Structure 1
């Protein structure tokens, strides 16, 4: 089967993988070997930064979850347009103009 170039499914799959990879990297993002003022500052803000990044990743995930419904809506609109064209201009549909 030839993939539909207008369908976002291929890049959507890659985007989901990227978000999952970022979540994994974020879970292991600690630098216990840091010492001094920089280490103290990092540790004091670590939870805040992790929470902020998790929020951004959640928003990205929510947007990615909406893409399939947009794809389905596009397919329904195309099918409706084809059905309307087959009624109003059946010769174009039979010739493959659609």
Structure 2
């Protein structure tokens, strides 16, 4: 049997944008034990935690752009909920969600 040919284009994965209560951050320092220090676009420095379901799925290193959800009861802490790849960061810049200059400043 021959395979059916389809004319479907490969779907472009939607880049997650920050929802209400979420903020884009850059990883400043790895602290160990699934904790990172991040600098967020709102100007605050937070202690980020990588949840258990994300530990093995995404490897975070210094300088990575991540999506974080600050805690309601401790605003200086947050959960890392997504790590952006370099192509996704470029797409966010094209869609004017974030400025390239700001990302470079935060990366240092």
Q: Pick the structure with more strand per residue.
A: 2
TM over 0.5: no
Interval containing the TM-score (normalised by the shorter chain): under 0.3
Output the TM-score relative to the length of structure 1: 0.23
